[in-house]
């Protein structure tokens, strides 16, 4: 773990202070997004691995009754059916009759969906309208097997997928071009909100189309579509400005996950001149088997027994104040922390104390 943390700190040193990225890689076009769909369905054909509860049989009974066959819940055996939640994402450019991928997840106590078939299931949006219909054989990436005394499970067999398993019945058109007072424009939403990055994006677009772009705030850049760009050329215009490069300004931040000991340090993180004392405790526990003999040899006064002798030693390593000069780059910071041989847990404590002392010139986020 120590090696991984220190390698991570050192690897970040290769990142330049202002790296240019394509606009399409750091911002999303406003209005272009997917919509979640979901529905409750029934998987059939399971080899005894289905639900043992009543709801799946009740659902199957209702389906059979709609087909003109009257059955009671008790007439159906359990194990071959599983009631499931079916989910999908309707993309912004998915049109009627196109297909989308489907995820199928168990709702009851089915142990695996392997080999099952999803019956036709309506997938609705949050507005209650049906946008797609899913059906077909499910595919699981996991297996589950059991006997009387043992069982084995690999991956997650209670969640399956159907590639292209839903047919779009109603499309949700993406409207990314807005028109106000006769002026058309598009907007980009930054994935990482930052005023400097937003201004850099606007400047990059203005270099290609002077006076067309404005940074509205830290998360939005508006681009006016020139009048010479016709409706059929809007797509090419948007693609062209999305390919432009813009410098990304990263904030100074340190993210710590105390549960896993993971530390991520931003490229602009620095520390002021400080002196750090690193101390630790080493606890050694040693168990030794001893033999207890009777007091009088060859007598019947006692018996020979095994006893345990426990030795505990606590050693505190001497902590020295280690001066660290003021640094401004990840390379210098990693070099300074590596020099004192800090482990991930030590680094977490050091960063917390640096923040308390006001010497950490970055935002500290602890997860």
**Other beta carbons less than 10 A from residue 327's beta carbon:** 19
Per-residue confidence (pLDDT) for residue 13, from 0 to 100: 43
How far apart are the C-alpha atoms of 333 and 349, rounded to whole Å?
15
Tens-digit pLDDT profile for residues 178-235: 888 888 999 999 999 999 999 999 999 999 999 999 999 999 999 999 989 998 999 9
Do residues 195 and 154 both lie within one domain? no
The Cα angle at residue 135 between residues 133 and 136, in degrees rounded to 5: 155
241 inside domain: yes
Do residues 232 and 320 both lie within one domain? no
88 inside domain: yes
User: Final residue of a domain: which of 168, 194, 215?
Assistant: 168
How many domains does the chain contain in total?
3
Quick check: pTM over 0.95? no
Structure tokens, 26: 């750091």
Tens-digit pLDDT profile for residues 56-77: 888 888 888 877 777 777 767 7
Residue 39: CA count within 13 A, CB half-sphere: 24
Rounded to 5 degrees, φ, ψ at 361 are -90, 65
Q: SS3 for 115?
A: coil
Tens-digit pLDDT profile for residues 96-106: 999 999 999 99
Do residues 86 and 184 both lie within one domain? no
Do residues 39 and 26 both lie within one domain? no
- For 336, the enclosing helix (H) or strand (E) is helix 330-339
Residue 12 binned pLDDT confidence (cut-offs 50, 70, 90) = very low
Residue 258 structural domain: 254-288+306-366
Helix 330-339 vs helix 2-11: crossing angle, to nearest 10: 150
How far apart are the C-alpha atoms of 347 and 367, rounded to whole Å?
15
User: Final residue of a domain: which of 152, 168, 184?
Assistant: 168
User: Rg of the Cα trace of the chain?
Assistant: 32
206 inside domain: yes
Say which residues have a Cβ less than 8 Å from residue 2's Cβ, sequence separation at least 6. Answer: 343, 344
Do residues 207 and 160 both lie within one domain? no
3 inside domain: no
Q: Are 221 and 202 in contact (CB under 8 A)?
A: yes
């Amino acid at each position: 773990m120590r090696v991984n943390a220190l390698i991570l700190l050192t690897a970040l040193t290769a990142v330049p202070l202002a790296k240019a990225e394509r606009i399409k890689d750091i911002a999303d076009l406003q209005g272009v997004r997917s919509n979640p769909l979901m529905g409750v369905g029934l998987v059939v054909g399971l080899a005894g691995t289905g639900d043992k509860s009543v709801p799946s049989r009740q659902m199957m009974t209702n389906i059979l009754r709609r087909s003109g066959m009257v059955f009671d819940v008790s007439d159906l055996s359990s194990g071959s059916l599983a009631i499931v939640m079916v989910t999908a994402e309707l993309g912004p450019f998915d049109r009627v009759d196109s297909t989308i991928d489907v995820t199928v997840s168990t709702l009851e106590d089915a142990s695996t969906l392997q080999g099952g078939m999803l019956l036709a299931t309506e997938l609705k949006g949050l507005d209650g309208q049906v946008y797609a219909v899913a059906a077909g054989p499910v595919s699981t990436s996991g297996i589950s097997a059991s006997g009387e005394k043992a069982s084995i499970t690999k991956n997650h067999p209670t969640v399956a997928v159907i590639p292209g398993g839903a047919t779009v019945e109603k499309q949700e058109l993406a409207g990314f071009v807005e028109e106000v007072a006769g002026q058309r424009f598009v907007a980009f939403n930054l994935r990482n909100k930052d005023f400097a990055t937003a201004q850099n994006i606007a400047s990059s677009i203005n270099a290609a189309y002077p006076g067309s772009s404005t940074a509205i705030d830290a998360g939005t850049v508006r681009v006016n579509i020139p009048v010479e760009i016709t409706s059929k050329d809007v797509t090419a215009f948007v693609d062209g400005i999305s390919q432009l490069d813009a410098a990304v300004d990263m904030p100074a931040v340190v993210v710590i996950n105390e549960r896993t000991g993971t530390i991520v340090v931003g490229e602009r993180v620095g520390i002021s001149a400080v002196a750090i004392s690193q101390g630790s405790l080493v606890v050694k526990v040693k168990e030794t088997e001893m033999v207890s003999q009777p007091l009088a040899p060859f007598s019947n006064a006692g018996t020979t027994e095994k006893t345990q002798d426990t030795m505990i030693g606590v050693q505190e390593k001497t902590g020295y104040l280690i001066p660290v000069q003021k640094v401004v780059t990840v390379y210098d910071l990693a070099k300074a922390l590596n020099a004192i041989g800090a482990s991930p847990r030590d680094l977490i404590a050091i960063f917390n104390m640096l923040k308390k002392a006001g010497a950490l010139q970055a935002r500290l986020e602890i997860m």
